[in-house]
Each structure stands twice: as C-alpha cells, then as structure tokens.
Structure 1
Amino acid sequence: MRSKAAELGICAGHIICTGDLAAYCAEPRQTVELIRDWGIHVVMGNCEQSLALEKPDCGCGFDEGSACSVLSIGWYQYANQAIDLDSRRWMGDLPRSITFQIKDYRFRVVHGSVTSINQFVFPSTPTDIKSRQIKRADAEVVIGGHSGIPFGQLIEDKIWLNAGVIGLPANDGTSDGWYMLLEPVDDGCLASWHRLQYDARISHGSTLAAGMSEYAQALTDGLWPSMDILPVDERANQGRRLDIAPLHFGF
C-alpha cells in the first residue's frame, strides 16, 4: 500500500488507516513498525485498544463461543506476544476518531461506529442505525472500518463509507485487499474503491507457519474462515467478486 500511495503521489499526511493493524496474520510487529515509520494517520481500533491495555482478548465484539471468537484466540495471542511496550504505548495514544474537511464537507473517521469502537456496520445494516450514528458524528460523512467489507451509501443527505481492508480479502473469492480514494470535484466529492493486488503467497506461507492455517487459506482463496458476524445478505455474497461503483456526492 505504501508503494501504491507513492505511485499515486499521495503523501503520508493525506492517508488515514481505520485501525486494527495487528490482526489475523503473521506480521503484527512488522506491520506496526511500517505504519509508524510511514507516518500516516491512524484511528484506534479495538485491537490497538486491547493491546495497549494488555487485555486478554481482541475486543472485537464476537459472540462468545462462536467460530470467530475461537479463531481470534490464536491470532490475538500471537500478536500480543509480538508487540513491544513502545508500540503498545503508541497504540494507547491513538485517537478514537479523526475529523477533516474537504470543501464544505466534514468527515469523521472511526473504527467501528461513532459510539462503539467494535460495532459492526455492513452494507445491509439498517439505515436508521447508520443515520443515528451520523447524527452523533457532527459530520456529513462517516468513514468506518472494522467490518471488512468496502462500501458506500447515501443516507438522506449524509454518507457512510467503508474503505475495506488492506491485509485481508473482502470475502469475495479474490486475494485482493481494498483501499478507498477521496477526491474533491467541481460539484462535490468523489469516493472510489480500488483493489490492491499483491503476491498473497508470501503472507500465506508466514501465516501458515505461525499456526493460523484458517487465515492463511483466506489470504489466497479470498473466503473468510467464519461468517458468524455477517448478516444474511453479506453471507449470501461470499465468493462473489465485488464491483463497487464510485460514489459522487454533493450537498
């Protein structure tokens, strides 16, 4: 992603990560070190919160006993052993939200939702839930993370965006990660979603060697090992290649 940003001419000060740097795969320490060296903006995710406080679990919001919860024990313990004290302190100082302005539009970036760091918000999440969160945001646009599915929705005269995830596929049967670009245009803003293609076999090998075979497989086949957290609509879309049209908005 850093190479892609350089290719696009986007400086570190214009890049935001929605959190959960050290989750699922086998390079948590290296990932955190890369992000810190890069100098981009980062919102605190539930994983950063848990690691900073040395909590016993990731705080993802999985139902107890679910497959997601059981699988998280392995990858969180691995990350917890890999992250040093200095990185934990850095994580603890991360902001819970970031605001910025493009033209007349105020954006608020969060990890889960405005009121909950680990709330899952999906394309099919009812619009009234999103509307209430946007009202709490004091912004025209909310950018969330956490759910792992990239999307954008116009809700009355407000916007909910999710950039997707760089380090894990979007459950669409491809090994691609996702990122989102925001651009000012003459009559508003344009949000566009893009695939980040890379050689997933390298991460697959290291993740497999670390004992996380389910997530190693997901890196290459693009299918999540569990869909416990997904609503019915998103479950039905597993393995279907995503095609996300750009979203133009102006107020």
Structure 2
Amino acid sequence: MKHLDLGVLDDDVPLFGGPYSNLQALDALMAWAHAAGIAPERMICTGDIAAYCGAPLACVEAVQGSGAAVLAGNCEKQLAQGADDCGCGFEDGTTCDRLSAAWYAFAQTQMTEDALNWMANLPDVLSFEHQGMRYGVLHGGVTDVARFAFETDEDAVFAQEWASLEALTGPVDGVIAGHSGTPFLRLTAQGPWMNAGVIGMPPHDGAPKTRFAVLSGGKMRIE
C-alpha cells in the first residue's frame, strides 16, 4: 500500500469525499474555498471522484488539476484496474447494486488513459500534521478500502482499522475517513475518527444539502 505524508498543514484544511461525478457540487466547493481564501493545495479528498452522477471525467480532471491531495477510493482503484464493478460490495439486487452497475459502466466509457493512469498512481493513505496533532486519512478502511464504517459500529471496527493505518503511517492522533457517505465524529479509545461525508449526494437526512468538513484549530466542523 502507498502512503503519502503531506507534511504540516496548520491553516484551515477542507476535507471532502465523494464528488460522485457531480461537477456542480465540486465547482461549488471550489468556489467556497476560493471565497474563503483557501488554496486547493490545502484541500484533501478522500476518494470516489467518479460515481453516480453525470460528469465522471470532468470531475476527475477538475480534481486532478486542482492541486488538492487525493487518495484512491474503491472507485478509483476499480476503474484504474478495468474491473467489472465499483467494488462497493453492495448486496445483489439492492437499489445501490443496480444503480452502481449503471453509473460504473457509463464512467468506464468516459475515462481517458491519462485519467486512468493518474488514478492508478494515487496513494492509499495520507498523513499530515495540523496544530500539533498528526492525522491519518483513509477511504473506507485499510483492511478493506470499501469497508463501511458508521458512527454506530462497535469499537472493534475502529480499533482494527486504526491499528492497520498506524502500521503504515506510524502513530496518529486522529483519523479522517470517507466512503460511507455520512459525516460524523466518533470518539474512539484511540482518538477521534472523523468522516468528512461526500459532496456529490446528500447523506439521507431528508435535505438536499451535501456535506464536507473543515479541520480548523484542531477541531472539525461540518459545512
């Protein structure tokens, strides 16, 4: 597995996952960052750039050209490998399974060789220091890139992934994750586990607004 250390990022750090081929959401996030005086180089994406919506290649190219730090989600890995599906592990016949088959086939037809090569070379995990604390960034999990970790999961889920992450990065004070689509902060025995959510689709809360997170002064807030 590939680990990339980003060094020290002491100013505000926007954290976002799952553009999901939603170019309008990605453009809105970049506009927000510009208005806030945040350079794209201080932004971190937890993966799954191409997915459910209609502009997979445009989103990949926009993130690729932005300078934001990106790790490989299962969508990037599967597309780069020419796999038959997105690798999410949805139960056969479910709505998510049917939708993923459709969008994934479309995304495959849109990708260029340059985009696939870029995705193939993305790191699996990131790390950085912020306000004296060290953070590790993963997609779903280290043991399984497409592992769904939710706020209500047992402590053992977070302990296993935390230990697997530290085996790659060394000790961390906090973990930032994506994949599950739901932003949350879970205080584990090891430290805070923060899911930044996704910007491409709302988190099933009945509202149309999507989510991202900002790490500021050692604390995470959801936008």
Do these two structures clear the TM 0.5 threshold for a shared fold by scoring above it? Answer: yes
1:177 alignment partner, SS class = coil
1:137 positional shift:
2.1
How far off is 1:117 after superposition? Answer: 0.5
TM-score by length of 2: 0.82
Q: Deviations over 1:185-209 (max 9, x none)?
A: xxxx111001xxxxxxxxxxxxxxx
Structure 1 residue corresponding to 2:198, chosen from 144, 159, 165: 165
Q: Which amino acid aligns with 1:156?
A: A
Q: Is the 8 A contact 2:41 2:66 kept in 1?
A: no
Partner in structure 1 of residue 59 of structure 2: 31
Q: Distance in 1 between matches of 2:140 and 2:182?
A: 12
Q: Distance in 1 between matches of 2:86 and 2:137?
A: 21
CA RMSD of aligned residues (A): 1.2
SS in 2 for 1:171: coil
Amino acid at match of 1:52: A
Question: What is the alpha-carbon distance in structure 2 between the residues aligned to residue 114 and residue 158 of structure 1?
Answer: 17
Deviation at 1:59, TM superposition (A): 0.6
Deviation at 1:91, TM superposition (A): 0.3
The one of the two structures with greater contact order (alpha-carbon pairs below 8 A, sep at least 6) is 2
Identity %: 37
Task: Output the TM-score relative to the length of structure 1.
Answer: 0.73
**Cα separation, 2, equivalents of 1:140 and 1:27:** 36
- 1:190 maps to 219
Structure 1 residue 19 and structure 2 residue 52: aligned?
Answer: no
**Matches of 2:190 and 2:221 in 1, distance apart?**
19
- Name segments (4+ residues, structure 1) moved above 3 Å: none
Aligned with 1:72 (options 94, 100, 104):
100
Does structure 1 conserve the Cα–Cα contact (< 8 Å) formed by 2:139 and 2:179? yes
- Aligned partner of 1:109 in structure 2 is 137
- Report the Cα distance in structure 1 between the residues aligned to 2:74 and 2:91, rounded to whole angstroms: 15
SS at match of 1:192: strand
Distance in 1, Cα, partners of 2:90 & 2:77: 16
- 1:202-226 CA-to-partner distances (Å, cap 9, x unmatched) read xxxxxxxxxxxxxxxxxxxxxxxxx
Q: Deviations over 1:100-120 (max 9, x none)?
A: 011332111111012210000
What amino acid maps onto 2:215 in structure 1? L
The yes-or-no answer on 1:174 pairing with 2:203 is no
Q: Which secondary structure does the structure 1 equivalent of 2:203 belong to?
A: coil
Q: How many pairs were matched up? A: 190
Deviation string for 1:2-25 (max 9, x for gaps)? 000111111122110000000001
CA contact (8 A) 2:142 2:165 kept: yes
Q: List gaps (5 residues or longer) in structure 1.
A: 195-251
**Deviation by residue 1:67-124 (Cα, 9 ceiling, x = unmatched):** 2112211010111111111100000000001000113321111110122100001111
